[in-house]
Structure 1
């Protein structure tokens, strides 16, 4: 008979509301189920409660429990059809046992019948169902003195709670499955990208600019499109050209490189196109040119911006016709060659000045990849320096290594010569090192003997203390990593010591006294004059106005006003 007492019905509704609210707080079913059981056991005077869920087709294992010890929870394992819990799971029907001691199917796996001697213990179990299948079983037990308690209301409440739990379990599994699918797809994509990038064995780079270059290389490599590599001298254009070739379908065919700036026009023509016997003095036999040698593969033309106007016309015809004639010959030679070209010149400006043919520019500038200078990817310097040092050690049978201070010096240099200069510096320093550890004092720049400083007129502080040094991880050798170095102007206000407006600040006094300390350098090396301090800050920051403004604790706009006021021309590197 259904209980119609208003206060009992209200208590059940309150319980269903509280359980539903608890289950909706999180997708962690272990946490929410346990909180729901904890509320129900206190509200309805139940002694113990637990939930078991299906683990496979016929195995049931405990998910959460209230009133059970850790050891008892570990014994919550049932087979489908085993005991009362297994029967409820396999049949999908609830069960009520007024006294578990009198029930032969009761397994007493958790010792519930032994905890209250002389007092009957009742057990209620209901299946947790969702999506037309049984997902688990909800079980409670309580004392039943003299077997007078009627469990119809308890069982009805359990069935409602089990329905809510079933929906929560179904949602949890759906979200978990979707998450695992996304994780698998993410791992697959990372593995695929990682596998592609691993093919660039000769390239070292983890910075964002280099990762962008790697992505462009992987996109362009499978095609036969002409590629123009641009960047300063020493940025690794030939290395990137070889990487494109190794990732292309022509990887097994020849890769032939020519430095166009190293040869005169006549020698370059013979070198690229070959010559016939007797074509000129000393031509004792027929010779194949680099175009023929690269047939089926890749031809790399470095310093393409340095070729003469006459040879530009000859090269344009070859690119258009895909054929050429050897020097001193008349027969056309057809070739299948992929071209990769490189230059450190501003071709657009050369075209405007009439120094480079516009039609040749459009022919070679199909896919352009800009290689960043080393100073714009300082994150790569430690790994590259270690790569060059490892190669030096292999070739010379040594075990030289960098100290953290030495690595900081390398990571903070301006490197006008880029990767080529870094490689030479590492080899020179490793060769002249007195022991197996290269310290910061081993570098010529620490004693004002750096030829780069003389060549490019770079101040010593600019070579050893740029503002991005703190962002570069330096690995301790062999102990733990060194503490983080302060960044220039870190934690300082950009407007300290100036007027309320940019105009007032620019017209007023510049450079607070604490600039040298904020920069991490010496205070006594700060010039006294306003113009001298502006130049001092710009040189220290590589003539980057924003960095110099932070060093002087002013805004970039104020910096611009001050430079304009004193007529200081900003250098371009």
Structure 2
């Protein structure tokens, strides 16, 4: 094979190796050193140097030297027209010298080049803009192939430029995605923060303070309250105002799935674990690793599944359905229920150890009937949301507000929201007066009756009447009555016995 053919073969192989390096990594600090090493090993192009353009000063700054770590040499700079590299900066063209000694412009500031050997420097363009320069020195005297070698160096410089452009594009895209992510996080935090939770009653102020306190830590939280009281809003606020707020937030309603699917949904499954498991799948706990999982309606899960859930809460470990590998997860658990878990424990329907594991930090959301003073503020907040959804202004009259406060809302905030949305639909002008507040008459009568319940904190009540009133309000379920009186079930059972109270059976 002739000399020129051998040179072409060597250059082709070198280009391939360089392209592999540049495609393997977008690290603009690591790749230059590897490229310069390959140029020396494969193509005999020694003393490689890569310089980059300083956008602030407009100077070329030496960025990488073959065989020399960046921290082992002082940065060398070239201004436009200064030395051979300055000529590239000025004209943007490749420079090929048969020998350094033949060109008086050569400054040799690095002190590494042999004056009798050729020198080649090619510009590195990124998207048509000069970004730097690649300089090398062939390890042999000029053999008449200088132009071929210069063309080869230009090709390598072009590959470097494409790699740098890709790296910059990826960095820009990451920055854009990060900005969008942060914007979305701020929006989500705003939607699920305290501003989205309305109420100035003493009960709500207490809940806000509990949220602020518990958000700082990884404590398990159990949110309790009737359906429609906004338990999910509290869970959202805890997560997005916690140190885990930048991590994943995964939600699941435990009552929405049968037990066989619930296990797969929470713990994941391996391929072939059951009919239809055509591929392995992560469960909600794995998805929530490093963040928070919200388990709504936790009181609906079976005792058999409760044992499996307990292991995750205690050990932070789980196994996918059909798998034998134990995986560790770091997940904060927030659970919610409208069930009386104490009754369920007493009845053997809910594991006591799981109850205590969940009930580390209980937050009890009061029903709307116990904080009717919040109704005007909540109603105005909700009508604002409806107005945004309908794209028109809506307003509530004082008569409408008064009408809303005369009802005890057994369906809580959810029922109030539905009532207001229905009123907005029926209002052509956007003004909502009392006549548009439609409340079911039977439910209203029941609510009025409930409003006439005996005040258990009334100091004029003797202990026997107070216990009987609590039992009446709790439907003669002693565990419920005990909580109304801030007692334990054993304490109220003792009082029923000693006070001679005849327990009603239903």
Q: What is the CA–CA distance in structure 1 between the aligned matches of 2:407 and 2:297, rounded to whole Å?
A: 26
Contact 2:193 2:236 in 1 (8 A): no
User: In the alignment, which of 219, 225, 232 is matched to residue 231 of structure 1?
Assistant: 225
Distance in 2 (alpha carbons) for counterparts of 1:400 and 1:222: 38
Q: Is 1:318 aligned to 2:312, yes or no?
A: yes
Cα distance, 1:556 vs structure 2:
6.1
Q: Render the CA deviation track for 1:246-302: whole Å, top value 9, x for unaligned.
A: 111001111111100111001110110111111111111111110011110000001
| TM-score using structure 2 length | 0.52
Measure the CA separation in 2 of the matches of 1:442 and 1:350. 41
Structure 2 CA distance, aligned partners of 1:321 and 1:259? 23
How far residue 203 of structure 1 moved from its aligned partner, in angstroms, is: 1.1
Following superposition, the deviation at residue 412 of structure 1 comes to: 2.2
Aligned-pair CA distance for 1:206: 1.1
For residues 451-500 of structure 1, the C-alpha deviation after alignment (integer angstroms, 9 at most, x for no partner) is xx54xx5417x55xxxxxxxxxxxxxxxxxxxxxxxxxxxxxxxxxxxxx
Report the Cα offset of residue 355 of structure 1: 0.8
Mapped partners of 2:211, 2:350: distance in 1: 26
Distance 1:569 1:233 in 2: 21
Q: What does residue range 122-201 of structure 1 map to in structure 2 within 5 Å?
A: 199-201=193-195
- Which residue of structure 2 lines up, in the alignment, with residue 248 of structure 1? 242
**Structure 1 residues 546, 251: closer, same or farther in 2, change over 3 A?**
closer
1:251 alignment partner, SS class: helix
Q: 1:339 aligns with which of 330, 333, 336?
A: 333
- On the 8 A contact 1:304/1:342 being kept in 2, the answer is yes
Trace 1:137-536 onto structure 2 (pairs within 5 A). 199-445=193-439, 450=440, 453-454=441-442, 457-459=443-445, 462=447
Contact 1:543/1:570, CA 8 A, preserved across alignment: no
CA contact (8 A) 1:543 1:571 kept: no
- When the two chains are superposed, the root-mean-square deviation of aligned CA atoms in Å is 3.0
Structure 2 vs 1, CA of residues 375 and 396 (structure 1 numbering), >3 Å: closer, same or farther?
A: same
Taking the aligned partners of 2:287 and 2:389, their CA distance within structure 1 comes to 31
- Offset of 1:431 from its aligned partner? 1.0
C-alpha distance in 1 between matches for 2:249 and 2:196: 15
Alpha-carbon distance change, 364 to 556 in structure 1, aligned in 2, over 3 angstroms: closer
Query: Does the aligned pair in 2 maintain the 1:213–1:369 contact within 8 Å?
Result: yes
**How far did 1:543 drift?**
3.8
User: Deviation of residue 380 (structure 1)?
Assistant: 1.6
Q: Is the 8 A contact 1:545 1:556 kept in 2?
A: no
Distance in 2 (CA, whole Å) between partners of 1:570 and 1:377 is: 18
**Hey, what's the Cα distance between the residues in 2 that align with 1:280 and 1:569?**
50
Distance in 2 (CA, whole Å) between partners of 1:345 and 1:230 is 8
In 2: Cα distance, 1:353 partner to 1:413 partner = 34
Gaps of at least 5 residues in structure 2 are: 1-189, 481-506
User: Between Structure 1 and Structure 2, whose CA radius of gyration is higher?
Assistant: 1
Cα distance in 2 between the residues matched to 1:556 and 1:213: 29
Contact 1:237 1:342 in 2 (8 A): yes
Where 2:196 maps in the other structure, the secondary structure is coil
Given the two structures, how large is their TM-score scaled by the length of structure 1? 0.46
| Partners of 1:220 and 1:298 in 2: CA distance | 13
- Determine the C-alpha separation between the residues in 2 that align with 1:569 and 1:275: 48
Q: How many residues were matched structurally?
A: 284
Task: Give me the whole-angstrom Cα distance separating, in 1, the residues matched to 2:391 and 2:307.
Answer: 50
